[in-house]
Structure 1
Amino acid sequence: MERKKQSMWKTFALAFCLLLSLEAGGCVRQEKKNSEQHELEIKVVTEEAIPEELMSLIEKNKKTPFRLTFADQGKLYLAEGYGEQKTTGYSVEVDRLCETQETVYIHTGLLGPEKGEEKKEIATYPYVVVELEETEKNIRFE
Structure 2
Amino acid sequence: MLFIRCREKLFWENIMKNKIFKCTVRQMLHSILCIVALVGLCVALQGCKIENQEDKKVQDLDFTVLKDKEIPQDILDMIEGKKYEAFQFTKTSGPYTYLVVGYGKQNTSGYSIQVEDVYLGENSIYVKTALLGPKKDEAVSEVETFPYVVIKIEARDETVIFK
* TM-score calculated relative to the size of structure 2: 0.68
- The question of whether the paired residues in 1 share the 8 Å contact of 2:114 and 2:129 is answered with yes
Is it true that 1:52 corresponds to 2:73 in the alignment?
yes
Matches of 2:57 and 2:88, distance apart in 1 = 25
Q: Which blocks of at least 5 consecutive residues in structure 2 are unaligned?
A: 1-33
SS at match of 1:128: strand
Matches of 2:61 and 2:138, distance apart in 1 = 32
Equivalent of 1:30 in 47, 52, 56: 52
Equivalent of 1:100 in 121, 130, 151: 121
Q: Which has the larger radius of gyration?
A: 2
User: How large is the Cα RMSD of the aligned pairs?
Assistant: 2.3
- The question of whether the paired residues in 2 share the 8 Å contact of 1:91 and 1:110 is answered with yes
Cα offset for 1:68?
1.2
Question: What residue is the counterpart of 1:109 in the other structure?
Answer: 130
Question: What residue is the counterpart of 1:76 in the other structure?
Answer: 97
Matches of 1:41 and 1:72, distance apart in 2 = 17
- The question of whether the paired residues in 2 share the 8 Å contact of 1:96 and 1:107 is answered with yes
Cα offset for 1:40?
1.4
Question: What residue is the counterpart of 2:151 in the other structure?
Answer: 130
Q: Which blocks of at least 5 consecutive residues in structure 1 are unaligned?
A: 1-10
* TM-score calculated relative to the size of structure 1: 0.77
Question: What amino acid maps onto 1:26 in structure 2?
Answer: K
Matches of 1:46 and 1:56, distance apart in 2 = 15
Spell out, residue by residue over 1:9-59, the C-alpha distance to the aligned partner (whole angstroms, 9 max, x if none): xx9xx99xx7xxx6xx633x523x344522112310111011100010001
- The question of whether the paired residues in 2 share the 8 Å contact of 1:76 and 1:131 is answered with yes
State the identity %.
31
- 4+ long deviations beyond 6 Å: none
- The question of whether the paired residues in 1 share the 8 Å contact of 2:55 and 2:124 is answered with no
Q: Count residues in correspondence.
A: 123
- The question of whether the paired residues in 2 share the 8 Å contact of 1:42 and 1:94 is answered with no
